[in-house]
A and B are shown apart, each in its own frame.
Chain A
Amino acid sequence: MSFRFEDAASLRDDLRRVDYLSDEGIAGVVYLADRLQKPVLVEGPAGTGKTQLAKSVSEVLGTRLIRLQCYEGLDEAKALYEWNYKKQLLRIQSDRSDEHDWAGVSEDIFSDEFLLTRPLLEAISAPDPVVLLIDEVDRVEVETEALLLEILSDYQVSIPELGTIEAKQIPLVFLTSNNTRELSEALKRRCLYLHVDYPDLEREKEIVLTKVPDITENLADQVARVVRSIRQIELKKAPSVSETIDWAKTLVLLGVEKIEEQTASDTLNILLKYQSDIRKAAKELVTADGVSV
């Protein structure tokens, strides 16, 4: 088996080529995930590019992305596999007239043909080296996490009727979490941990330059500076990267060349979601003395 990435630095370049701006830490951990054949648990504030990271890595690799979107109530049948019972019933009924004994039938109906594969099983049984994204894993109940453990540590799935299905290749696995609850230690132990925070000034500027067509270097720089400043204010929800991008796009549409106070406070509702945050930021932004906390 060969490795996917030569080293962290070239991975970082490759990601940039598909418009994902990573940093040393992000690229380093993804590189290690491949080397150590361990899943990466990506945690961090909303809209900082956690989901996008998995997508972009699969783009770099030119491989399929198999995605399991988690939600409350997700169960085995939706995550792993399910027996196609309608088809099974049909088979049993069509067999009735014949002299088949039950053992024969059951052997027959619990076979590959009647198995509906769901994302996790699909990723394991894929013949090609896929990327598996288990998105927003913090949304499932802590008991449901147990479904993931076998896959994450052994890259295999046990199906009582069929036995153990082992991976044909080790998928590169990303789990993302918005941290709405603490994940179990058992899950965390199996993963490499990557905290993706808001980017620093330089990286955010680069992201804006990449993602917003026709923006000038100068405006991108100002956007990043204002956003950095706003993130220092104590808010209920700080602006995310995607909100930065939306804001920059709006400014370009408005034909803004330099961000004046008026423009900034008129468009704050794109960066911030809560009224109280907007009010607070509008006030603080025009306070030359900096953050008053």
Chain B
Amino acid sequence: MTATGTTEGNGRSAKTVPLELGDAVLELLNGFIIELRAAGLPVSLTENLDALEAVKHVPIGDRESFKYALGATLVKHYNHWKAFETVFEVYFSLRGKEYAIGEDGELLDLEDGDLDDAQAGDQQGAGGGGENLSPEELAEMLFQSLMRGDSQMMKGVARQAVRRFAGMEPGRPVGGTYYLYRTLRNLDLDGVLERLLQQAQDTQGEASEMDQRLWRDEYQHRIDQLQKEIEAEIRRRLVADRGVEAMAKTLRKPLPEDVDFMHASREEMTNLRKAIYPLTRKLAARLQRKRRHGRRGPLDFRRTVRASLSCGGVPVEPKFRNPNPHKPEIFVIADISGSVAAFARFTLHLVYAISGQFSKVRSFVFIDGLDEVTSYFEGVEDINEAVHRVNTEADVVWVDGHSDYGHALGVFWQKYGKDIGPRTSVMILGDARNNYHAAESWIVKEMQDKARHVYWLNPEPRSYWDTGDSIVGEYAQHCDGSFEVRNLRQLEAFVENLV
């Protein structure tokens, strides 16, 4: 009996017969899966087929079910869910009766999202989607919808706001964020939030700080919901104008593990920060496991023979060497100036999260001056806090706060060079953009002579190395390896190999 061999026939009521998919839907699904792959999701052939099978079992026109059916079959990493959702919204934003498009391609109006509907009692429903509202009335509707948390009304407000403020024109080649920005600017949601809080305070009276925080959370949550509606409305109109594929392409974004440290947006940065904890936990668990398994060293031939003598030469008990007896000692020397700061932060975080794998970790940070920050990490529970202190408290500016690798390395060598020994692995972090100062690369050479290994980690794409004022090649020639580490994926791989 196999998984696929049994679905035929017996016992199935008419209601559960899988639907056959029409050509149009099939074509749409195909495009959808191609786009997922283009966005970096590793959709295999099996999964593709599973998805086609799965959607036959969900009620047609039920967008949410459709989404879960596709999600469960096509997305197997949580990190990829967001990318999936975006593509889904684009491909299927026009599905469902409420999103119908008229004969001439004009968008029809949402029946149940119309403002006149939402406030049925208050106003005579003239002219469809609330066109007749004055700007003040619309602002008031916005306020009321958020105050009540009325999602139908929010939908209506969102549509009306986009229609009025986004200034969308067919064929105009600008991205959705531009329209979003224009719409939001006109709505002044920050001001609305303050008004909502004020109103809550007025009606509820005396409130503790915590209560106020909870209100703020709630209203912020509703505002986020409204913003999602606005985004959906813009997307819907853009898709209608430009077609699905073109739209999907403009929205393509890297997956979190592939986001460039040096060019992450604020939102991406927040996501990266969130991703680092589970990532380090996973890495630590994996390394732990590896160590436990690799506990046995290679066979110790001589000891085995010697032990066999007591058994008449039969090697009954093989003897093993001790597994690599010494954990390495790590020195991290990191440039924390401007554009490479985030990279240094994540690397320090990761190294300290698995510091149990090393006999000792010492860390130094620099811009044009250099400071040891090892003590910041000692006895702290929350590595993030320590990393934060590094960025705010370390004494790293010598002259002007522009990176000077030569000087910083000089300070390091003079003060701490003697501490480097044959068990030390040194990781130097930075883009080696030296502002045309002296390189002093001899220091790295001497380091390499004393240390076990010296590695250079550079967050820039390799193709940019040694262009402009980057002199990474000059340092790298004295290193045991130089690595491009632009994102979490590469960082994780490097650190895992290090152990």
Contacts and interface: CB of A to CB of B under 8 A. Distances in A.
Interface of A: 1-3, 6-8, 24-25, 28-29, 31-32, 35-38, 40-41, 43-44, 72, 141, 153-156, 166-168, 170, 179-182, 185, 188-189, 191-195, 201, 222, 225-226, 228-229, 232, 234, 236, 259-261, 264, 274-277, 280, 285-290, 293
Contacts of B232: none
Given A167-B1, A290-B220, A195 B381 contact: no
A181 B285 contact: yes
B78 A290 contact: no
Nearest to A293: B270
Given A170-B3, A229-B214, A179 B208 contact: no
B106 interface: no
B286 interface: yes
Could you say which interface size class chain B belongs to?
A: 35 or more
Given A181-B285, A228-B217, A38 B50 contact: yes
Contacts of A285: 210, 213
28 contacts: A8-B65, A24-B64, A28-B68, A29-B68, A35-B54, A36-B57, A72-B289, A141-B293, A156-B1, A168-B1, A170-B6, A179-B278, A192-B73, A225-B218, A226-B214, A228-B217, A229-B217, A234-B274, A236-B277, A264-B210, A275-B381, A276-B380, A276-B385, A286-B210, A288-B210, A288-B213, A289-B216, A293-B270
Contacts of B217: 225, 228-229, 232, 290
Given A24-B65, A36-B53, A232-B217, A155 B2 contact: yes
Contact of A193 (B6, B75, B218): B75
B209 interface: yes
Contacts of A29: 68, 72
Interface pairs A-B: 9 shortest CB-CB: A2-B11, A288-B212, A276-B381, A28-B68, A276-B382, A188-B76, A192-B72, A180-B285, A286-B209
A73 to B, nearest CB: 9
B117 to A, nearest CB: 24
A288 B12 contact: no
A43 B6 contact: no
A276 B379 CA distance: 12
Interface string B1-30: 111101100111001101000000000000
Given A154-B3, A155-B3, A290-B216, A189 B46 contact: yes
Nearest to B59: A7
Contacts of A289: 213, 216
Contacts of A32: 54, 57-58, 68-69, 72
Given A236-B381, A286-B209, A37 B7 contact: yes
Contacts of A185: 42, 44, 76
B273 interface: yes
B470 interface: no
Contacts of B81: 195
A49 B263 CA distance: 37
Contacts of A287: 209, 213
